[in-house]
Structure 1
Amino acid sequence: MTQIDVNNVLSQMRALSAQASDGMSSATGITSSATSTNSAGANFATLFKQSIGAVAAQQNDAQAQSSAFERGDPGADLVKTSIAGQTADLAFRGLVEVRNKLVDAYTTIMNMPV
């Protein structure tokens, strides 16, 4: 399972923003910037899908551990179950924060005068 790295996502967004602003300086730069942004956008989409999948996997694992503990399975441990639940909760909160930042950025861009 992979962890969500918010700092990595934000640094990628900043790099894309820098590429876009550099590409605006000349007409030839705009076309090359558009192609690099599309490929970088695909990478971001892939990263975001993987992050959502990782969060879902953590939540499923926490639910499975919780169910096993409730059933009284011999291998179920309260501490591991609690940690899995807290990890899944933290990962979900991080994903929600990233989503909120993306929605805020989209809203800001859409409200810019052209």
Structure 2
Amino acid sequence: MLPPVDTSNVLALRQQILARNTALQGGSLGGLQNIGQPAQPPAFQTAMQDALKSVSAVQEQAGTASAAFERGETHDLASVMIARQKASIAFEATLQVRNRLLGAYKDVMNMPL
């Protein structure tokens, strides 16, 4: 099962975007003063990394359950099939998120200046 989404990270990222937008519209450097310095990864990046690690863990569990069933270590076919379905759904969700992000990136790149 995927972990619940922490909305506080999303809201904090939104606040950062709004603050930078306000700073850019005001003509000041605001949040851009630290351009040359390494920054902490944005909340979006860490959220995506955590989600991908979670999907990877679900797939690994499904593979382990399948291998155990094939070796005869377990006879619970239902739990193996449930683990495989969870892995499949998690992968499909990840694929859909990737497609949406790619579509949004293409839309932004095709915007006229």
What CA distance in whole angstroms lies between the structure 2 residues aligned with 1:101 and 1:17? 22
Q: Does the C-alpha gap of structure 1 residues 31 and 17 become closer, same or farther in structure 2, counting only changes over 3 Å?
A: closer
Equivalences, count: 106
RMSD of the alignment, in Å?
3.1
**Structure with the greater alpha carbon radius of gyration:** 2
Q: Does 1:71 align with 2:71?
A: yes
Paired residue type of 1:50: D
Asked whether the 8 Å contact 1:65–1:81 carries over to 2, the reply is yes
Asked whether the 8 Å contact 1:23–1:32 carries over to 2, the reply is yes
Asked whether the 8 Å contact 1:4–1:91 carries over to 2, the reply is no
Note the C-alpha offset of 1:17: 9.4
Note the C-alpha offset of 1:43: 1.3
Q: Which residue is equivalent to 1:105?
A: 104
Structure 2 residue ranges without an equivalent (≥5): none
Q: Which residue is equivalent to 1:44?
A: 44
Note the C-alpha offset of 1:66: 0.7
The correspondence of residues 6-17 of structure 1 with structure 2, limited to 5 A, is: 15=14
TM-score, structure 1 as length reference: 0.71
SS in 2 for 1:27: coil
Structure 1 residue ranges without an equivalent (≥5): none
Paired residue type of 2:46: T
Note the C-alpha offset of 1:84: 0.5
Deviations 1:56-90 (A, max 9, x none): 111111011011111111x4411111110000111
Paired residue type of 2:98: R
Paired residue type of 2:82: I
